[in-house]
Chains A and B, each alone.
Chain A
């Protein structure tokens, strides 16, 4: 492949419209970039290629929204928290996880269940779709 002047951001959001969550994978070291960008931050390779992520991941930290860290439009998310997500493909980033209340956080922390399993979902915002995660409840 060759370095291309390519609309990565637009393709990512178009992918969400089609029900696919796209990242980029380094052909040299195999690291996955999510959200998708041109180069590999792990090995420094100048190119990456499109890769559909599974959506499975783990949540490593939990921060609850509060007056400073929320917006009226976030009400549509229902109960949620912010935190560090690690995809099963390796990428780590900050994201929203639905299904977490203060009580649920306490239960998770006190039971030593961290990191907890999460699953990506496509979420409609005003004018475009984005990616959030849902807590995967134990059976």
Chain B
């Protein structure tokens, strides 16, 4: 196996808890008159203010804020996007920092915020992310945007890969689509047909979850789509040219739906929860630990290796066992992530995860729910914002506030595994306070 360095984590200097979350719908802003013209400050501001309202705090209570955006120069014509929008949510004059880890940004948003409070420097911190994944700022206009073309998108995704060697060697950037599927199929000994079915069932399950989530961008189930195209059996549709093979294993349905959106979270020192939350009735959710790893894309099986290391770290520092995880999220802009991350985390048993998926057990109404908001292939992928949108969903599930999409057994402990940026991994465990 490739050389992998390891890190031993230490417990936080003080406990940190999530007290509020906010999220916009994930959308194609320029496609609708109602949303065309929305700006960075408006999207981020909405998510931030909703998180404050949810937490029962106001901007004066918040000491500092973190701002995440995957591609601020390309998408927003900003080099310092955090500075430009603090006024929109009442934080003029407060300190802030921008960070960017591509599709993993919304997970590192939690790492940054928790560290800032755990260190003792700040008592209450806002962390938010915004992305216009489907549109670009028109230079020299104060608010208008234009649709993101695929050419422009692919030009910027090339920037995710090492310029010195990886782009030259041609393999790392291309293996993102199918490496994990090849690894899973080979190491678990399943057939091509079983792998294809598993990839298709992840799409179906994700869409079923999104179909009952009002913030999701794509809510029409694959069963409905199959009927529209004249298929009685949804799997016949999934294996048809309507869902073409785009990779060695990956079909079109297993790819992200890039779009626009924002999400935010408020964290504070756990021993100050009552002071900040006032008369709010929901329970705070403690962040038990966060594991991080990164493998540049020339590293073999970069996603697998980095996930194994991040998961190892977070289990070691928290003492949590895989069997204690009630709910699981994986950033699955390539849907295979969803399977391999859940098995590496031990949420699904080794070599059996694909069967759980094909039996529908990982949908929101199953016994091992994954990505209850629909994940990147159905909830949508507003790149930086996706991680915090997953946290928004997890928090609502853990409070029993997920509406029609509420999982059967109220989750107490949840793991979220972020991935992206060719390739960063950030995995954390959260638990509802007793």
Contact = CB atoms under 8 A, between A and B. Distances in A.
Given A35-B165, A68-B246, A128-B168, A63 B178 contact: yes
B179 A61 contact: yes
A84 B300 contact: yes
Interface stretch (B100-108, B169-177, B308-316, B350-358): B169-177
Interface in A61-119: 61-70, 74, 82-84, 92-96
A45 interface: no
A71 B169 CA distance: 13
Interface size class of B (residues with CB under 8 A): 20 to 34
Contacts of A68: 177, 246-247, 250, 255
Interface string A39-65: 001101000000000000000111111
Nearest to B173: A69
A136 B174 CA distance: 23
Contacts of B175: 63, 69, 82, 94
Contact of A69 (B3, B169, B174, B299): B174
In this complex, the member of A9, A31, A66, A82 whose beta carbon has the largest number of chain B beta carbons within 10 angstroms is A82
B245 A66 contact: yes
B179 A63 contact: yes
Interface residues of A, number: 31
Interface string B116-149: 0000000000000000000000000000000000
A70 B298 CA distance: 16
Nearest to A9: B164
A130 B33 CA distance: 49
Interface in A6-46: 9, 31, 35, 41-42, 44
B174 A70 contact: yes
Given A35-B298, A63-B175, A41 B182 contact: no
B297 interface: yes
Nearest to A70: B174
B interface secondary structure, majority: loop
A131 interface: yes
A130 B177 contact: no
Contacts of A95: 169-171
In this complex, the member of B169, B172, B246 whose beta carbon has the largest number of chain A beta carbons within 10 angstroms is B169
B246 A66 contact: yes
Contact of A84 (B170, B174, B301): B301
A69 to B, nearest CB: 4
Interface string B153-172: 00000000000110011111
A137 to B, nearest CB: 21
A69 B298 contact: no
Interface in B55-109: none
